[in-house]
Amino acid sequence: MKFRDYDQKKDFKHVFRIWQECGWVEDEEKDKKAFTIFTSTGHRKIAELNEVPECFITTSPGKMKYGNTSLKLTAVTAVTVSRLLRKQGAASRLLASMLEQDISEGADVAGLGMFEQGYYNRFGFSTMGYEHWYTFDPAKLIIYKNGGIPVRITSDDWEEAHRCISERKMSQGFITFDSPELIHSEMLWSKNGFGLGYKKDGKLSHYAWFSTDNTESGPYDVRWMAYSNWDQFLELLGTIKSLEDQVRTVNMREPASIQLQDFIEKPFQLQTITRKSKFESRMRSIAYQQLRICNLENCINAIVYEGEIFSFNLHLTDQLVDHLPETSTFKGCAGDFTVSIGHVSEIQEGTTEGLPWVKGSINGFTRLWIGTLPASTISLTEDLSIDESLINDLEKAFYNPSARSDWDY
């Protein structure tokens, strides 16, 4: 088995066949165009067997917001394996080598959208917080702002759409991708996709991108929204409201710092009336994004805590190294450290006598750091033990359950 860089001209038909075997694409020109655009950017590698590609993985660079800091992100945007190489370890070894390369090139964190919980934990990933998806009748929206007549957005506007979402209002954990081609390919892959938005001074200022299986009555999915202030958010709700005469339900992600239920007229009555129907109103919560720290120093430095400074010893293991060749000198985030948390947070190699301990895997520590679970309960499901004297300080400094990526990939 051989690992090498993807060659668009040479490998396209083989890798497209892998994606068909995975059920990700069909043999249609739109899929081929979107796939060509998607595979034109980022790091792309294949594992070949008998000189034929049978495994294909892509990672894409971007940024993640942590507090007031922008951390460098590498996102695993595709892991696909043909029917011949399932359970042969090819994807594990190839992904580990790509993560090692991305980390050596400066990635502070790595993220992915998981197909099932548990598989990517072996590479040091851990699950982020819940995303809330609300399905509702747009006619029941009661708080919104009429923004006037919107502009129509198509896949031809991909560069402006990418710029706009990259400049959107950001919250803890939000990500952006460097390559506008990723938005372009997602626009093309959206079934019956279309966008509605607004311009200011000739530039796209805020918009929503939709897809649907049934153009006539929905449900319509709001695949993503981009806005830089709450007035723009309300205008986009007004645009969704304007679809009410024909569209029976809209499904959208609940924005950070917002409870969509507050915007719906008689939400419980609506759920009762529509229960088990095609146009059921409901809220779904699911955690499908995963994250791992790659650069401990930069991730600790990003913490700004205005409380009293505190310090602890940190012992970490990192399973990523288990999937690399024995000759690799890469140790991931494993080691023993002294960590100080305050207005300026620091980490140094080596421990300090007398300090309390945090011990465990990079998985559990990442989950603590991003704030998915509080220090008092994280040891129930993660390999992370924390001295009791540290619990209160860690929860004040780290716990932020609203952290989310706001960009599916």
In a domain, 403, yes or no: no
Least confident of 82-86, 193-197, 338-342, 357-361: 82-86
| Among 266, 286, 306, residue at a domain's last position | 286
pTM assigned to the model: 0.93
| Residues near 401 by beta carbon (within 8 Å), at least 6 away in sequence | 129, 371, 372
Mean pLDDT of all residues belonging to the chain: 95
371: left (phi over 0), alpha (psi -120 to 50) or beta: left
Q: Which tens digits make up the pLDDT trace of 201-236? A: 999 999 999 999 999 999 999 999 999 999 999 999
In a domain, 354, yes or no: yes
Task: Identify whether residues 341 and 392 lie together within a single domain.
Answer: yes
| Among 269, 286, 303, residue at a domain's last position | 286
Task: Identify whether residues 258 and 334 lie together within a single domain.
Answer: no
Task: Identify whether residues 393 and 313 lie together within a single domain.
Answer: yes
Distance (Å, whole) CA 127 – CA 123: 12
Q: What total of structural domains would you count in the chain? A: 3
Full domain range(s) for residue 262? 132-286
Q: What is the mean pLDDT of residues 33-51?
A: 95
Distance (Å, whole) CA 81 – CA 88: 10
Task: Identify whether residues 314 and 266 lie together within a single domain.
Answer: no
> If 0-12 CB within 10 Å is exposed, 13-18 middle and 19+ buried, where does residue 221 land?
buried
Concatenated DSSP letters for 203-262? EEEEEEEEEES-TTT-PEEEEEEE-SSHHHHHHHHHHHHTTTTT---EEEEPPTT--GGG
Helix (H, G, I), strand (E, B) or coil at 28: coil
- How would residue 36 be classed by pLDDT, with cut points 50, 70 and 90? very high
| Among 235, 268, 286, residue at a domain's last position | 286
Q: For residue 185, what are the β-bridge partners?
A: none
Going by DSSP bridges, is the β-strand pair 250-253/220-226 parallel, antiparallel, or unpaired? parallel
pLDDT of residue 28: 87
